[in-house]
Amino acid sequence: MDGDDWLTDTRTSYDTVAASYAEQMRDSLAEVPFLLSALGLFAESVRAAGGGLVADAGCGPGHVTAHLHKLGVDAFGLDLSPAMIEVARRDHPGLRFMVGSMTDLGLTDASLGALLAFWSLVHVPDDAIPTVFAEFRRVLRPGGPLLLGFHLGDGSRLKTQGYGGHPMNVYVHRRPAERMAAWLGEAGFVVESQMLLDLDKPYPGAILFARRDTV
Ligand SMILES: C[S@@+](CC[C@H](N)C(=O)[O-])C[C@H]1O[C@@H](n2cnc3c(N)ncnc32)[C@H](O)[C@@H]1O
């Protein structure tokens, strides 16, 4: 795949599935106590680090942004797909959502208290990860918490349909937690903890708790 084609394909794919994705995910958090507990821990660490604005990068329909808000976190959502952002604004009218890319966040240096990226890095190719993590570090305050959720494993597959059989054209990348942690270390983050989920299922997950260095 050439250059930024993946961004165009990801945007178009999630524009196509935005409404059905929102429908499927609306109540999904309640079914996964480990995700809820990870978000609770994240909210605690945001508070302990002094609060501030928190980005949900690749927020999709905004259900995680809304959950963080309920936990007292000053969260806003950002997503590549304008249709996803439209759905997020419709479903959560009191919250802030913006169209944008993790590769170029368009936010001021050190303007965020914390950042979360839940299952959005799964579409970012390996060669773009250093750019994305450099952006995360640039916009975070020193010591700011970072929470990442992603598919655990190794290898990539092309997803050609999803969320009710709608056409998609996105690569889904699985990564070992150690590889993600190494990329984070190179970008100036310290990984503090990890949670592995659904190890007996076809799509296991990993959640990494990290923090921007204080340099
Ligand atoms: C699998 S969905 C996850 C959505 C939500 N975070 C969740 O946990 O349900 C992936 C989302 O990441 C977004 N995304 C992918 N690449 C992105 C990028 N470079 N910048 C911003 N959003 C991106 C997609 O548009 C899509 O909404």
Ligand 1 atom 13: the closest Cα is on which residue?
Answer: 58
Q: Does the pLDDT of residue 147 top 80, yes or no? A: yes
Q: Does the pLDDT of residue 78 top 80, yes or no? A: yes
Task: Identify the pLDDT of residue 1.
Answer: 56
103 lines ligand 1 (CB under 6 A): yes
For the segment 112-124, the average pLDDT, to the nearest whole number, is 98
Task: Identify the pLDDT of residue 2.
Answer: 59
Question: Could you tell me the CA-to-CA distances from 147 to 56, 154, 191, 213 in Å, in that order?
Answer: 9, 20, 10, 14
Token code pair at residue 9: 């394909």
Percentage above 70 pLDDT, the chain? 99
Ligand 1 atom 20: the closest Cα is on which residue?
Answer: 101
64 lines ligand 1 (CB under 6 A): yes
- CA angle 147-152-158, nearest 5°? 110
For the segment 18-24, the average pLDDT, to the nearest whole number, is 97
Ligand 1 atom 14: the closest Cα is on which residue?
Answer: 58
Ligand 1 atom 15: the closest Cα is on which residue?
Answer: 120
For the segment 148-163, the average pLDDT, to the nearest whole number, is 97
Q: Does the pLDDT of residue 215 top 90, yes or no? A: no
118 lines ligand 1 (CB under 6 A): yes
Q: Does the pLDDT of residue 4 top 90, yes or no? A: no
Residues 162-194: pLDDT tens digits? 999 999 999 999 999 999 999 999 999 999 999
